[in-house]
Structures are given as C-alpha cells and as structure tokens.
Amino acid sequence: MSEKSIKEFARIIKTFSSNSTSYLPICNISFFLGAGFSKAWDQRSPIGSELFDLNTSTDLNAKKYDVFKLPDLLSQFLISHDYYSVRPHPKELQLKDIMYNLSMQLKYPDLRSRYIDAQNIQLIINEIKSFIQQKFENITEINYFDEKLSRFPYPNNLNEDQRAILNFFKTILSDTYSDRSRGIYEGIRSDFITTNYDFTIETILNYIWGEDDSIFLYIYRGITPEEICGCHPYSRIVSHDYGLTKNLIKINGGFEILANENFYKLEYRKRKTEDILKNPPQIMLPNKEQDYTDNYFKAVFPKAVRLLQESQVLVIVGYSMPEEDSLIRILLRQFAEKSEDLLFKNIFYITGKERKNEDYEKTYDERYQKLKQLILSLYPYLNNKKQLLSSIFIYPGHFCDWAKGVIEELT
C-alpha cells in the first residue's frame, strides 16, 4: 500500500515532464503542511500538545518567562484555579479553554466580569501570543533571517532527513518538470499552504533558489506586505509574475506577520521579547470556537480556497486534522467539494513517525485505517462512492521516507 502512494505520485510527476515536444497542461500541486512537516525537518520542533499545554510549574512559574504577567492575568481576569483542579491533568492548562473564555467575553460584552473590558482582554491575548512565540523558541530554534547572509541559514551539517526533504523539493520544483521556455507555463506547478508558525518552508525554498537570490521575489503570501525585514524596496512588488511565483499561505498566521495599521510587515529577524509584547505576531491560537475574522485571515482564506480548487493534486503532510480545526477541515474540502470534483484529482496523505522495523508491518494496517477514517470524515461522500477511493493514496509513515521513495522512482 505505502509503495503504491510513492509510485503513483512519481507517475503523475513523470506524466507532466517538460521533455515533451507538445504543449503540456499545468498540473497544480498544493502541499498542505502541518506540524508533522516541521518535525520531519527538525525533531525538536513542537507539536500542538507540547506548545499549547501550559504547565503551571515549568511554564508559568519559570524564571525564563518572568517578563510575562500571565499567571496574574489568568488568576485575576479569567478563571479561578479551582477550575484547573478538576481537569484530568491539573498541571496542564488547556489553551483552547482559555482562549474560548476570552473570545466569548470579547464577543459578548454582557458576559464580562466586573473588571473585564475589551482592552484588557486584548492585552491578555497579546500576552499569550507573545508567550507562545517565546515558548516555541525555548523548545527549538527559530531559523531567523540572517541580514549578513541575506537569507535563511540552514544547518551546517544537514542530517539525512533534511537532505531527503531538500532533494525532494529541489527535484519537484526543477525545470525538468516545469517549463517556461515557450512563453507559457507548462508542467508541474507547486504551491504551499501551512498551519505552521515557523520558517521551515521558507528555509527550504531559500536553499532551493540559491544563496544569490531572494525568495521574497518569488513567493506570494496572500497579502502584500508593506515591509519585509525592515526593507522598503520589497513593498514596491505589488504584483507577481505567474510563471515565477509560488504561493505560500500561512492560514494560521506566523511569527513573522505583524499588523501595521491597514498593512502588514513580515519581520523574519529576531526581535526582543519586549518588542514582541508591544506588537505580537498574527497567529491563530487553539480555541473551541476558532475565530478567523481578523483582516489577515479574511485576506488569505479566499486565496487558499481558490488555490485548492484549481489544484489537481493535494499532498497533506504531517497534519492530524484535530477536531477544533473545523474551519480548516472545511477549507480542505474545497479541493474536492463534491464527488465529481475528485474524478480527475488525487489526494496524498502522509503522516506518521514510524520507521520500518520489526513492528512496522504489524501496526501498518492499524495506522492506515486510522488515516483512512480521517480522510473519510473530511470527504464524507467517499463513504457512498467507494470507487473514488482509488484517488486517495495514504502513506502512514515518515515523510522523509516517502520523499526518498519518490526520488528513487523518478531517477
């Protein structure tokens, strides 16, 4: 089963090879990247439970977080500590519960406590966003933009998995499988949608395009930033060339996205904690009722919908489809909203940490069936049209192993 996913993806890539003498249609491939993708690149990268469960002893009372006022704010403005004691894991505060409480008080003024108002609620939310960025950086390194190098630095000693990821995307994005020499774009076209806040995909793309070029010239973010890393000349790029541009849409925001009145700045350089507190990043935090009404999310969601609708191939990597991500699940459904949409489209779902070992085959079917149920919940019409399952290819293993397999098939 797993080899079938690899072979079919490689077959699609070969089909649209630009070595043909006749014009080739465009094959739009959208890579949808979740937290598992960043973890495939760097094992230290946190998944949701590591980042969003706030531990009262190791997080909120730790000296490294002294600059934050979260303990006081949460105790005074949010919920009594008795609330946490009834949880199965009383030391871990569920951020989605905290955000739900805050967002409801922000949305419904009549629910607010005596000393709660829209301003101090927003200040708490800003504090939480800043805290999450600091916690992320304490778990793993954020690959900040290096002004001296004019690029995102990558590890001096790339490990085997990182080399596999770089080799995969460098091959897929190469001129071998796409062509502009005859005046129109032909072959494979790859774009990216991600739920991640970090700069992993930017680092990968920067490596592929080379040290003497800027990825900022070739990626469209769904918004046009006023500045990038404090550099105004980039703001003059108000439109991009279709043949040169890749979409990179961060539907949950990112640590680099800063609001600036009616515009946005992309600040990939390292900032002081005090500066982050003054202007926290535009990031979506876990919530029982996700609120994507901020102007940034209202701008990028339509772009993501159109991108998915125009794509022939959807590759979902490292995304577990959590229940609270109900709106993102609806977004993914736009790739094939009706069964007719899936007749000439393909979905590749790759997620899992397992490597081949003595238990691999024993647990394979269990993992496969679990992922299959997630896909069926995303596209419920598949339950009644089993023949369309031939368009779904599931790989319940490590993305790097899948990427290596694809490259082997192509070469």
How far is 328 from 194, CA to CA, in rounded Å?
11
Report the 10 Å Cβ neighbour count for 69: 15
pLDDT tens per residue, range 288-327: 888 888 899 999 999 999 999 999 999 999 998 887 788 8
Helix axes 2-15, 399-410, angle to 10 degrees: 50
pTM above 0.85, yes or no: yes
Percent pLDDT > 90 in the chain is 40
- What are the DSSP E strand ranges found in 61-174? 92-94
**Identity at 158, one-letter amino acid code:** L
Q: Is the pLDDT of residue 257 over 90?
A: yes
Q: Yes or no: say if 228 and 105 are a contact pair by the CB < 8 Å rule.
A: no
Structural tokens at position 193:
């949608």
Place of tokens 């699609």: 12
What is the pLDDT confidence band of residue 230, given thresholds at 50, 70 and 90? confident
Q: Yes or no: say if 37 and 194 are a contact pair by the CB < 8 Å rule.
A: yes
45 by DSSP, 3-state: which? coil
Q: Residue 12 class from Cβ within 10 Å (0-12 exposed, 13-18 middle, 19+ buried)?
A: middle
pLDDT tens per residue, range 322-370: 877 888 999 999 999 988 888 889 999 998 766 655 555 557 788 888 8
Per-residue model confidence (pLDDT) at position 270: 94
How far is 42 from 318, CA to CA, in rounded Å?
13
